[in-house]
Structure formats: C-alpha cells, structure tokens
Amino acid sequence: MTKLYFSGLFILLLFITSGCEMQPVKPWERGTLAKPSMQLTPDEVENALDEHIYFSKEASTGGQGIGGGGCGCN
Amino acid sequence: MSYSSSKKIRDSLSLACCSLLQVAPEASATPIGDVSIDSAVLIYSESDNRVSLIEPVVKLKTELKEDQFLSVQLVFDALTGASPNGAQASNVAQTFTSPSGVGEYTTPANELPLDSTFRDSRFAMAATLESPIDRLQKNIYSLSLSAEHDWNSLSAGYTYSKDLNLRNTTVMTGASLTYDAISPVGGAPVEFAQMLAPGFSQPKDGKKDRNTIDFIAGISQVLNRSTITQLNYSVSQSDGYHNDPYKILSLLDDTSALPTGNYLYEKRPDNRQRHIIYWKTAHHFTDDVINIAYRYYQDDWGIVSHTADLKYRYELSAKSFLQPHIRFYSQTAADFYRHSLLASEASALPDFASADFRLGEFNSTTIGLKYGRELGNNRHFSSRLEVMQQSGNSQPADAFGEQLNQDLYPDLTAIILQFSYSFIW
C-alpha cells in the first residue's frame, strides 16, 4: 500500500513538472509567485499546529526548519 | 564618456529598475509599524476517549523597519484524556500504579491499558527576527520556549539566507541549540525497574535533561512564473534523557502470554541522530494552486519514514477557496521496539526496550478539507476539518498464546478541527 502511495506521488510530480522548463523569471514577471497562496508555507500557523500534532504522534519530525518543538508530548 | 563608465551607468539603471519593479510578496505588504495578526483555535480529539486537546494560537508579525520583520507566536494547549501506558491488553483486568506513585488505576479485561491520569497543559512562545544584511542577504534569529509542569524547553537558532540569480534562487543554512529540562511526575523511573504498587518506594532517578543541536541547509528555486520548489537537508543530534517516563512494558508468561502482574519501565538509548531530506513544490495553475511535499527521514534508532503531503487550493471565487488535503505517512519500527517482554528475559534484559506505539511500525493517513474566505479590509477566515487514521500490525509474527486473542496495535482515529482568523492591526 505504501509503495502505491509513493508511486502515485511520483507520477503526479512528473505530470506537474512536465510543463516546467526552468527559465529565469524577471522581477516584473513575479505577480503569480508573489501571491500569498504561492508562498512555500502559505499558512504558517496551520503548519506549526500540524507539526506539533505529528511530532506528538509519530517518531519522525523536522525537515522544514530547525529548533523549537521541545515538548513532553513525545 | 568611456565605454566602461557608460556600461556602469547602464548596469546601475538596470539594477534600479529591477529593484523598483521587484514585486514583494503580498503577505508582507503590511505598512511598517502595522501588525498582522493570525489567530487560530485547534481542537484535536482521538477516538476511544484517548487524548483530547484544545490549542489557541496567536501570531503577531510586524515590519520594524524596511525589510526587518519581527514575529512572535504564542501557543497554549490543554490536554485531557488517556494515553496508552505501553502494557499489553489481556483477558484479565490489570492494575497499574499512577505516575505519582500514590494512586492506581485498573484496565478491564480485553481493553488497551490507558493511563487515565494523563493531564497536561503547555505554554509555548516562539520569536523570529528577520534582519537584512543587504538587498540579497539576511540573518534570521529565532528563540523559542515551552513550559509544562514536567517539561521545559528552550531553543535558540540562527539562519543565514542569500538570494542569487535575480532572486530566482535562495540558499540558506542554519543551526539551533535546544535544551530540555525534564522533571517527570514522581521523578524519572529507574530504567527497567519494576513498577511497584502504591505505597512502596519506587526507585527513581529524579530530574533529567537533554541537549539537541540541529543543522539545516536548503535551496529554493523559482522554476518559472508559476512554480517554486524547495529542497532541505537537516541533521539533528540529541544527547540525554530520551525515555518516556510514563511508559512501561508487560512482562508476560513464556507459555501463555498472560500477564505475570509485573511491568518494567522502558529504556531507550541516551542519544539519537536524525537525518531528514525535505522537498516541497508549489505550482499555480490558471486559478488554483497545488502544494506537494515529501520528506524522507531516518535515525540511528532504526526508524525510516516517508511522508507525502498534498494540498490543492481550488478557487471558488475571487474571495473564497476550498482546499482538500491528503497526507500519507509510513514508518518502520525502532530496533528496540517490543510489544512486550517475556518473564524469562527478566534475568537477561535487552539493552533497550520500549512498547511505545509511536516507535512501532505503522502507517498513517490524514484526509481533510479547508474552506477559506476573504472578509475585506485584510481580514481572512478559514476553517478545516481533517481525519487522521493510524494503523499498525495488530498480529505480529511473534505473537503467541493470549496475544493471538488481542489487538497488539489498535488503530487510532483522530479528528482535527481548526478555525482561523487573521487581520491587520
């Protein structure tokens, strides 16, 4: 089942990036990238809450940043 | 005018034009001195009367001067309910001593032993200061603290980032130090000590601590006008107390797998090294946005995990959106994870052992939906509802006797509900 999940993710990634050719984007072409919804972490509070939930329920943590998170919940 | 000086002027003008045309993220378009406030309340509830939590959060962010940002996040959480104590379910009722050593609780036959004395509240604060070095480089300083009745944590970090390639590429690197002071209720139990009945003098080790150092290096890259990607590598080394002082292991009869009535406190290694690769990409379609992330994690306890996360923001109108979310997580067990110990092992115990389900092998899936709406005047509201389901191997290959009648890894279902409101003050 796990392999199926990650195969699906990989296929989706190929689909999305198939139309992406790397091209330098000029400052005046950044209208779309500047939208709040296009930030890599568009909702920082929600992200922090999720990190705390999964930190307390799983053995893995981290990846997005460093420090913080010290908690007796795990 | 020489060629070289005219080129310098042309370059300077180009740079000035680029700076003027640089589109800053709308998220940071708050005027200097104003404060953007993100607030939220999280309600988290597990099935079978296990853990319930309510967690209000507020995050304040302001631009102190040009490109210098200060953010402060305050969190309070209150937990109630019951948490698995590590002992195994059996066809007889089992009685356990509470962590304080003065009380006891009984788990009925054929039910998962849960420590019903589990109560906690936590206050946490995190502050971040982003300070520019020049137009392309910045320092980020972070400080966080967390306080509970049995756990206090203090962490300080520094990150440096630099924009390159017309700001299409950003590289960053950072490090942090974390100190955890751990003072378990009733004192930290001696590792592998037998749980004694109330009134007896349980051997305890008092207070404990842990030091952690984290390093991170990452790169984010604009791929085109509508796609941005990020790749991070992190390594973390922690030394000190890693046990869960409230977790025990059942000592079972060698032939029947019935409880002997003896339970031992767990023992984990006193250090841990983690390696993490994290990748994230956001892509803007004509209207909608897809956000995909993948994390590979491994540590020297033998745990390897994969996490995949996908959010699709579907724009209902110019002012509202729906965002389905799906997350898959899979981890292998720690080398020392044991669902129980046998009575015959008591005289020759393994180096380490823990029956904490979080160190076992399991898969977890979260599915959710979020609705967001702009209310005008920089006010936003959103709400999300998610369901998380964890499932492990309820009948491992080494199960025998009474274990064959019990679920050795009960599923866990949790509901996540969140309301958020943000505005400018």
Q: Which of A14-28, A46-60, B194-208, B276-290 has the lowest mean pLDDT?
A: A14-28
**Residue A59: which of B231, B324, B236 has the closest Cα?**
B236
Nearest CA in chain B to A33: B226
Residue B3: pLDDT band by 50, 70, 90 thresholds?
very low
Residue A2: pLDDT band by 50, 70, 90 thresholds?
low
* Tokens 């589109």, residue located: B23
Nearest CA in chain A to B305: A60
* Cβ-based contacts of B220 with chain A (< 8 Å): 40
Q: Which helix (H) or strand (E) holds A4?
A: helix A2-17
Q: Are B181 and B207 in contact (CB under 8 A)?
A: yes
**Residue B130: which of A44, A28, A71 has the closest Cα?**
A44
Residue of B165, B363, B418 with shortest CB distance to A1: B363
Q: Give yes or no for B291 touching A (CB within 8 A).
A: yes
The answer to whether residue B161 sits within a structural domain is no
Residue B395 tokens read as: 């009948």
The answer to whether residue B398 sits within a structural domain is yes
- The residue type found at B350 is P
pLDDT at B132 over 80: yes
What's the structural domain count of chain B?
1
**Residue B418: which of B369, B384, B370, B380 has the closest Cα?**
B384
CB count in 10 Å sphere of residue B275? 15
pLDDT, residue B108, reads 94
pLDDT at B321 over 80: yes
Residue of B146, B174, B234 with shortest CB distance to A70: B146
* Tokens 């939220």, residue located: B40
Residue of B79, B150, B305 with shortest CB distance to A60: B305
Subunit contact B310:A12, Cβ cutoff 8 A = yes
Per cent of chain B over pLDDT 90 is 82
The answer to whether residue B302 sits within a structural domain is yes
What DSSP letter does each residue of A27-59 carry, written as one string?
GGG-TTTTSGGGSSSS-HHHHHHHHHHHHHHSS
Strand partners, B304: B298
Which of the pair, A13 or B225, is modelled with greater confidence?
Answer: B225
The answer to whether residue B188 sits within a structural domain is yes
pLDDT at B14 over 70: no
* 3-state secondary structure string across B73-93: EEEEEEEECCEECCCCCCCCC
- Which of A26, A32, A60, A64 is best to mutate for the B interface (most B CBs within 10 A)? A60
Kindly report the backbone phi and psi dihedral angles of residue B195, in degrees, each rounded to the nearest multiple of 5, phi listed first: -70, 125
Subunit contact A6:B306, Cβ cutoff 8 A = yes
Contact pairs from chain A to chain B, CB under 8 Å: 245
Residue B31: pLDDT band by 50, 70, 90 thresholds?
confident
The answer to whether residue B268 sits within a structural domain is yes
pLDDT at A8 over 80: no
* Cβ-based contacts of A10 with chain B (< 8 Å): none
Subunit contact A45:B73, Cβ cutoff 8 A = yes
pLDDT, residue B18, reads 37
> How far off is chain B from A16, nearest CA to CA, in Å?
8
pLDDT, residue A73, reads 76
Residue B262 tokens read as: 């003896």
The answer to whether residue B323 sits within a structural domain is yes
Residue of B73, B168, B290 with shortest CB distance to A25: B168
Q: Give yes or no for B174 touching A (CB within 8 A).
A: yes
Strand partners, B284: B289
* Cβ-based contacts of B283 with chain A (< 8 Å): 16, 20
Mean pLDDT across B347-360: 96
Subunit contact B59:A1, Cβ cutoff 8 A = no
> How far off is chain B from A34, nearest CA to CA, in Å?
4
Subunit contact A70:B177, Cβ cutoff 8 A = no
Long-range contacts of B96-102 (CB under 8 A, 24+ apart): B96/B195, B96/B248, B96/B263, B97/B195, B97/B196, B97/B197, B97/B198, B97/B202, B98/B198, B99/B184, B99/B185, B99/B186, B99/B245, B99/B246, B100/B185, B100/B186, B101/B186, B101/B196, B101/B198, B101/B202, B102/B198, B102/B199
Considering chain B, what is the average pLDDT of its residues? 91
Strand partners, B237: B213, B273
Subunit contact A67:B156, Cβ cutoff 8 A = yes
Q: Are strands B68-80 and B52-65 parallel, antiparallel or unpaired?
A: antiparallel
Nearest CA in chain B to A31: B23
Residue A21: pLDDT band by 50, 70, 90 thresholds?
low
Residue B1: pLDDT band by 50, 70, 90 thresholds?
very low
Q: Give yes or no for A42 touching B (CB within 8 A).
A: yes
Subunit contact A16:B290, Cβ cutoff 8 A = yes
Nearest CA in chain A to B381: A43
Mean pLDDT across B192-211: 90
Residue B114 tokens read as: 């849960």
Q: Give yes or no for A13 touching B (CB within 8 A).
A: yes
Strand partners, B368: B325, B386
pLDDT tens string B287-309: 999 999 999 999 999 999 999 99
pLDDT, residue A17, reads 52
What DSSP letter does each residue of B237-251 carry, written as one string?
EEEE----TT-EEEE
Domain that holds residue B414: 77-123+169-424
Q: Are strands B271-284 and B259-265 parallel, antiparallel or unpaired?
A: unpaired
